[in-house]
């Protein structure tokens, strides 16, 4: 079966689907004949995003804050029971960089509520509507592969997504459902533009050594990973090398990270 036939007529629900990686996924999957359902907070942005899809692929939109259980329950109650969800993609998320000392407690709680609990809420409450062979895709971050200076709140929330998804994969192993975990690097999205305003100087210096991928490139690799039923999906060559190094060398990568931080600190001073 080719890729287009694989995705043809599948009901795909994407959180964070009004922009960034979520929207890029929606546009590419709709071009393969999938029926797309978009979830995000802003109804105007959702409607605009849906308008970019072919009419035959427009399943519908849900203006929902995934961190709010009551809103996700309302989404589940509105779901058309005649449909099952074939692919559920959790792309909703926010990042707010800053040193631990300068970040507020509210920021830590907000990122955990949206990035981690938002993922759990959607899967838990929509689980009854997943098809027998459904595929769940959780988007984490390279900040869940190794600790990055300036991302104590964001990295922790994405490590939580990683741990949760590892357990979910294990628990669904004996079923026909599949799970994927994505570790995208910096990606050219409105979210990246937002967080660049708040990155500490050292974080900017470190990040400056790696170019951001386009949302379209990341979406292509996620789609390929779903098609091939991969558990771990890592967009970009540099990210693949980093993931391999961390898993191969373990704690020996810390001296490299320490050198990068010290080097960046010297340059920024």
3-state secondary structure the chain: CCHHHHHCCCEEEEECCCCHHHHHHHHHHHCCCCEEEEEECCHHHHHHHHHCCCHHHEEEEEECCCCCHHHHHHHHHHCCCCCCEEEEEECCCCCCCECCCCCCHHHHHHHHHHHHHHHHHHHHHHHHHEEEEEEEEEECCHHHCCCCCCEHHHHHHHHHHHHHHHHHHHHCCCCCCEEEEECCCCEECHHHHHHCCCCCHHHHHHHCCCCCEEHHHHHHHHHHHHHCCCCEECCCHHHHHHHHHHHHHHHHHHHHHHHHHHHHHHHHC
Catalytic residue list contains 116:
no
Strand-pairing partners, residue 35, are 11
Catalytic residue among 154, 159, 231, 243: 154
- How far apart (Å, rounded) are the C-alpha atoms in residues 64 and 8? 26
- How far apart (Å, rounded) are the C-alpha atoms in residues 201 and 208? 10
Q: Residue 26 in contact with residue 53, Cβ under 8 Å?
A: yes
Please state, as a whole number, how many other Cβ atoms lie within 10 Å of the Cβ of residue 70. 9
- How far apart (Å, rounded) are the C-alpha atoms in residues 83 and 237? 37
Return the active site residues. 154
């Amino acid at each position: 079966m080719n890729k287009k036939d694989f995705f043809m007529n599948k009901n795909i629900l994407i959180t964070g689907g009004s922009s960034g990686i979520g929207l890029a996924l929606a546009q590419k999957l709709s071009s393969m004949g999938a029926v797309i359902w978009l979830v995000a907070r802003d109804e105007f942005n959702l409607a605009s995003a849906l308008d970019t899809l072919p009419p035959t692929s427009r399943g519908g939109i849900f203006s929902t804050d995934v961190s709010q259980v009551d809103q996700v329950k309302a989404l589940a109650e509105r779901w058309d029971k005649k449909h099952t969800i074939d692919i559920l993609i959790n792309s909703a998320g926010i990042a707010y960089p800053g040193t631990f000392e300068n970040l507020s407690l509210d920021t830590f709680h907000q990122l955990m509520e949206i990035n981690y609990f938002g993922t759990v809420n959607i899967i838990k409450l929509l689980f009854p509507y997943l098809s027998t062979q459904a595929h769940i895709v959780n988007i984490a971050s390279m900040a869940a592969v190794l600790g990055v200076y300036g991302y104590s709140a964001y990295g922790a929330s994405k490590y939580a997504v990683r741990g949760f998804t590892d357990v979910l994969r294990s628990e669904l192993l004996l079923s026909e459902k599949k799970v994927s975990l994505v570790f995208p690097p910096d990606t050219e999205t409105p979210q990246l533009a937002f967080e660049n305003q708040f990155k500490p100087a050292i974080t900017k210096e470190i990040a400056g050594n790696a170019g951001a991928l386009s949302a379209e490139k990341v979406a292509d690799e996620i789609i390929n990973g779903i098609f091939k039923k991969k558990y771990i999906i890592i967009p970009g060559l540099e990210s693949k090398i980093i993931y391999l190094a961390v898993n191969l060398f373990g704690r020996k990568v810390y001296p490299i990270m320490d050198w990068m931080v010290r080097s960046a600190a010297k340059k920024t001073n």
